[in-house]
Structure 1
């Protein structure tokens, strides 16, 4: 198993959180990563932090752009992806050390195109993430996501060939919901 995972991280004024986010990516037990930091016109030192991090690890790519918002930053990241799988991480979040290794284990052993995990919120630390593995067909997957409103793109890795031309709609709120809905529509065609 030697899939490359491209991780798209939009960055905007997150100097307080950026190191924690990127450190969680660099410390992954699965090492074949491409980390794409999109500095979306940050007004704080986030852009400089991105450049410093890229000097320390060859897996980090940095793209600086004029501020266009979260969707524009994610779209720029998608334009630079070279991996087999794509992941989106928000720059004020962090992930567990074995997340990609565990997700790719299931992808490889079950020939899966999409792998989803639960999200642990720091706002509700009492609510623990569920630890179960379920394989769903396309229709079951779409129905569960819509019924439970699991629209966040940060909870999945996607096989690149399923997303290659799909993009986020810019200048809209709820961009994850729109992207996921379009993705599900394409998936179930």
Structure 2
């Protein structure tokens, strides 16, 4: 999404050639590949853990930190290794998004008209809002210190990062539509 916005704003005349079917297939393959690697690492780690505290987790879905609480072995080395790999994957995606948006903002600030600024920023901010919401709630949930044991907070954070961003996606991205803005104003009154 960040690359699409970058090409649309910074290189609009080359959009068709830079984001052709081959580029889209490559980006989809990279996203699916990194997602598959992430899932494979966590699945193999989870299935190799001996569970000795039952098999009921305190979540509405089977989440890795909750499964690790059920393990009776010391899995700190495994967790550290997984954390390093996952942080590398997440950090590379984050850096790509940040670099794309730095280039976008540099290009937008060179636009002389205020209407051009508004148009360009209105295409970027919905994506940044959804990504920020997802990343911040996920980071808080997974990087929360274990010294703060709170099953209810864990549940709330799990709902926030797994349900709220996908539910807000249609609303956030449709706020560019004038009919929806008018309907929301009418609803608020």
**Alignment TM-score, normalising by the size of structure 2:** 0.25
Q: Which has the higher helix share?
A: 2
Q: Give the number of the structure whose alpha-carbon radius of gyration is greater.
A: 2
Q: Which has the higher strand share?
A: 1
